[in-house]
Chains A and B, each alone.
Chain A
Amino acid sequence: MEAERKKDAAAEEARQPHTRACEQELAMSWPKVGEAGETGDWRTVRPVLDTSKCLAAQRGKLACMQCWMFCPDAVITRTVPPGVNMTYCKGCGICVEVCPAGAITLEPEHEHEEEHGRDAHAAEEQGSADGDDQP
């Protein structure tokens, strides 16, 4: 009887979430990408890059990089061509405004629903295929 009760209590304890594995006695956080979750979910529009206009892509070397420099979320890579991490891009559109070549456009997210979470190059190909990338 007693043994059974103990067993039930142990099972109940296992079901009940607890923080006993946490060894902290004060609140100390460690870094995590996606601290606020997949913030790409916030987007209603997404940036789409036309590599035929992108200065870096055109020159085939690191150039311009205004989109990378001004991104408030550090989701654009300093690469040729620049890529956008769509898992976390919030779709603010700053990159569109600061691009001196008009190479980035914003497209409604629902047109890209099937690509959610995929990275920039996939998005860019989609944009080009649609022929809807004129500034």
Chain B
Amino acid sequence: MATTALTLPETEYMLPGNRACAGCGLGIAFRHITKALDGKCIFVVPASCLTVLGGMYPTSSVTVPIMNCAFPSTAASASGVAAGLKVLGREDTTVVAMAGDGGTADIGIQALSGAAERNANILYICYDNEGYMNTGTQRSGSTPLGAKTTTSPALGKCEFPKDVPAILEAHHIPYVATASPSYPGDLYDKVKKAKDLRGTRYMHLNAPCPSGWQFAPKDTVELGRLAVETGVFLLYEIEDGVFRLTSRSRALAKQGALKPVREFLELQGRFSSAADAAIDAVQEWVNQRWKRAIERHAE
């Protein structure tokens, strides 16, 4: 039975009055991740928007422990925490490495690959807001084609984003999943499932960012939904190598059709001057991925 608004636990582990931007997609995600973990977790966080959300010394806006770590080190630092807990007999605490897409796809990928290859006992969650939003919206390896950033200011990014979940899948880890704060029940259920597994579990979250993507803060959830409904972001999980679409993506695969990507892109200022050719390229990229996903999907 999928979790809904009425069955999500009430307890909060993120406090009001934090430093995150209004309408931050990460805020929604963080609430439901911590609910799924029942607060029995240690977060390992590199420089990122979550650092900002977590607050400045000597006060914290979350009621779970956080170990801040160096930007490239998230997965390694987390695997150290896991090793420390193991030798101290405290393995009932879930170690969650949580980083942005820059900290995951770019500077943190070596440590992440190493930890995944060792099957370190960590849950790694990448919240992908598709750029270095905390430092002022620079391009990352996860920024989509056509998106303007402060380091791809005129033409928009000219390359497709890295498929990080696919990279992690190639490490043969027990669990790979994607999720979105716009589908909190699906996110919650996946974190709960991941929590009970051992070894490296990887989750990739789509995290709409009002300031970086340039849309109104009220539209965060709508943008997350459109990302899924246009197929730009697919909700799926890969458990022991078996690929399944989940939640809204699964429903769309069963019946109905994806919306044109244009409907998702045109709500965002970062695509405002994207050429038709770029939008067509994104549409083709989506079509190919969707085709492969449907082929792979196991009921």
Q: A residues touching B (Cβ–Cβ < 8 Å)?
A: 22, 24, 27-39, 42, 62-66, 68-75, 78, 85, 87-88, 90-94, 96-98, 106
Contact = CB atoms under 8 A, between A and B. Distances in A.
User: Quick one: which of A28, A35, A37, A96 has the most chain B CB within 10 A?
Assistant: A35
A39 B16 contact: yes
B174 interface: no
Given A66-B5, A74-B15, A42 B28 contact: no
A16 B56 CA distance: 23
A94 B61 contact: no
Interface of B: 5-6, 8, 10, 12, 14-20, 22-28, 31, 54-63, 181, 184, 210, 216-222
Given A72-B25, A90-B23, 9 more contacts: A30-B60, A35-B55, A35-B59, A71-B28, A72-B20, A72-B181, A74-B27, A92-B22, A97-B222
Contact of A73 (B27, B56, B59, B210): B27
Nearest to A39: B17
Contacts of A38: 17
A93 B8 contact: no
Nearest to A30: B60
Contacts of A93: 23, 216-218
11 contacts: A32-B59, A37-B17, A38-B17, A72-B31, A73-B16, A87-B16, A88-B16, A91-B22, A92-B217, A93-B218, A94-B217
B16 A92 contact: no
A22 B17 CA distance: 24
A95 B43 CA distance: 28
A31 B62 contact: yes
A124 B24 CA distance: 24
A97 B158 CA distance: 33
A24 B15 CA distance: 23
Given A28-B58, A36-B19, A94 B218 contact: yes
